[in-house]
Amino acid sequence: MKKIPTFKTEAEEQEFWATHDSTEYVDWSKAKRAVFPNLKPSTKTISLRLPQTMLEELKLLANKRDVPYQSLLKVFLSERIESELERHQPKLARA
């Protein structure tokens, strides 16, 4: 097995693994499944302008569900994205 180099940055490591075969560096027959239950997806802060009435309605809905309005907005966006992807899936598969 080749020795895995030391990387200075995550980007450097990503570039390395994108251009090298891991089987030359890792004996995958000895690998064990790992579970990381507390990992959270990376997030990015954005600025979003909404009409005041929309924001007030979102906050009202969130209050009724006893959740923060940003969390409810993420749920709504996630559901809609999933719906749109499913709706367009057959078209994408034929392309």
The torsion region of residue 77 among left (phi > 0), alpha (psi -120 to 50) and beta comes to alpha
What is residue 94's predicted lDDT score, i.e. its pLDDT?
A: 47
Tell me the residue type at 84.
E
What is residue 36's predicted lDDT score, i.e. its pLDDT?
A: 84
Query: Token pair of 20, please?
Result: 């090298």
List, in order, residues 6 or more apart from 5 with CB less than 8 Å away: 16
List, in order, residues 6 or more apart from 61 with CB less than 8 Å away: 69, 72
pLDDT tens for the 95 residues of the chain, in order: 999 999 999 999 999 999 999 999 999 999 998 888 888 888 899 999 999 999 999 999 999 999 999 999 999 999 999 999 988 876 555 44
What is residue 25's predicted lDDT score, i.e. its pLDDT?
A: 95
What is residue 91's predicted lDDT score, i.e. its pLDDT?
A: 58
Question: Coil, helix or strand for 50?
Answer: coil
